[in-house]
Structures are given as structure tokens and as C-alpha cells.
């Protein structure tokens, strides 16, 4: 299972297809459907009509949320990474080496009440936390890397470095080098071989004119 994933809140009920209104209550149901987790957002009316979600295979959790309509104007881009923007980048990157940093960032955001733990469960011997962003409704699945005390300080240092300097950019591929002899002070100009042209046929020999006898 890819424990690192963000699933955004739906803008309409999955059952009836009716669009959610601003501040409308809705139900979020989380299912374990390997290899991923899947969320289902349902309006209250449909939640009462459909069968008990807890009896469905793969059910993990269910909670009530409040839909917030997205802003009419696009939000100005953030120039410097915050804990939230960095967490989203690490989740999207999905590299195991950033798992400890992602976990620490999620805990930081939880303490600041920017994320809320909705559920936790164990899978493949690891504890998985389900976080929800209250405003956007996005759901994050973050695996606990089971850090030891002697590892915590280094991970906190890594997080501080990422917040200050951002993620490393992939190195550009080195240009292919072609061995060539360079003469100092002389620019090297590639010379294409001249095309061969067929030899022109020799003109026919002229017959000698007879010389009149004197």
C-alpha cells in the first residue's frame, strides 16, 4: 500500500451527485482498498439511505465534516515553504527517505491545529495515521516511522533544513563529451567531407586536318 497519499474532499455527493453547498455537513467514509486507501464523501440524506457503511469490506473509519467552498480568487503563491506546503511536496514526491520528515511535519501541524487525526490503525506492522485538513478537507495518510530518541534530533535538523532551503533539485544531465584535438587560439570548425563528383569524360580527340601540299 502507498501510505503516502493525499485525497482531496469531493465537491459533490458520491451517491446522488448533488453538489455540496458552503457550510453543508457531509459524511466522509474511509476504506482500505489495496494498494491504496479510498475516501467516499456522502451528503447526510444519502448517508441515511445507504446501508451501514461499517459493514462494508475494508471499512476503516467514518466522520462528519463541514464543506467549505473554495475561494473565488486563486490564492497567491507562497514563495517560501511552510510546514504545510513542504508536507504536501513530500507526500507528492513519495520517497521513503523523506518518511521521517513527513511524519514530524504532520505532528507539528497537528499541534498547531492545522491537521486533525481522524483515525489510526496498524498495517504490515506499522501504525498509519489518517490526518484531515479542516479547511480544505484533504486527507493525508502518514506512516509512523517509529523513530528512536537518537534519531529524532537528526530528523528535526533535516526538517529545519528543508524548510529553509527547500527540496533538492535533480541535477541536470552532463553533456556528452566528444574527444577532439584543440589547437590554442584556433576555433574548431567542423568540416564536412566533400561530396564526390563523377569525373567528366575527356573530350574526344580531334582528327588532324590534312595539310595541303605546296
Rounded percentage of the chain residues whose pLDDT exceeds 70:
70
Distance CA 180, CA 188 (A): 9
pLDDT at 135: 87
Distance CA 156, CA 189 (A): 55
DSSP state at residue 155: H
pLDDT at 109: 94
What is the per-residue pLDDT across 51-65, written as a single tens digit (0 to 9) for each? 667 777 788 888 999
Average pLDDT on 158-164 reads 90
Residue 198 has pLDDT above 50, yes or no: yes
Q: In what helix (H) or strand (E) does residue 88 lie, and over which residues does it extend?
A: helix 83-93
Per-chain mean pLDDT for the chain: 78
pLDDT at 170: 56
Distance CA 156, CA 94 (A): 19
192 vs 114, more confident: 114
Stated pTM of the model: 0.62
Average pLDDT on 1-29 reads 85
Tell me the three state secondary structure of residue 141.
strand
Distance CA 200, CA 41 (A): 85
For the chain, what are the domain ranges? Answer: 5-165
All residues at 6 or more sequence positions from 91 whose CB lies less than 8 Å from its CB, including other chains:
4, 5, 6, 102, 140, 142
Average pLDDT on 157-186 reads 64
Amino acid at each position: 500500500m502507498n501510505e503516502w497519499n493525499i485525497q482531496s474532499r469531493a465537491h459533490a455527493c458520491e451517491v446522488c451527485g448533488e453538489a455540496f453547498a458552503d457550510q453543508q455537513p457531509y459524511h466522509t467514509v474511509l476504506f482500505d482498498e489495496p494498494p491504496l486507501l479510498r475516501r467516499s464523501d456522502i451528503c447526510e440524506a444519502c448517508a441515511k439511505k445507504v446501508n451501514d457503511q461499517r459493514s462494508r469490506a475494508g471499512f476503516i473509519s467514518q466522520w462528519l465534516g463541514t464543506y467549505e467552498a473554495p475561494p473565488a480568487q486563486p490564492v497567491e503563491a507562497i514563495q517560501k515553504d511552510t510546514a504545510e506546503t513542504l508536507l504536501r511536496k513530500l507526500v507528492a514526491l513519495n520517497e521513503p527517505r523523506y518518511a521521517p520528515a513527513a511524519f514530524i511535519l504532520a505532528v507539528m501541524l497537528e499541534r498547531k491545529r492545522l491537521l486533525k487525526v481522524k483515525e489510526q490503525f496498524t498495517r504490515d506492522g506499522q501504525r498509519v495515521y489518517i490526518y484531515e485538513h479542516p479547511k480544505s478537507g484533504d486527507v493525508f495518510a502518514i506512516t509512523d516511522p517509529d523513530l528512536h530518541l537518537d534519531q529524532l534530533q537528526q530528523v528535526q535538523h533535516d526538517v529545519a533544513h528543508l524548510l529553509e532551503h527547500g527540496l533538492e533539485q535533480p541535477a541536470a544531465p552532463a553533456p556528452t563529451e566528444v574527444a577532439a584535438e584543440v589547437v590554442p587560439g584556433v576555433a574548431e570548425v567542423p568540416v564536412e567531407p566533400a561530396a564526390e563528383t563523377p569525373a567528366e569524360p575527356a573530350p574526344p580527340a580531334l582528327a588532324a586536318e590534312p595539310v595541303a601540299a605546296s
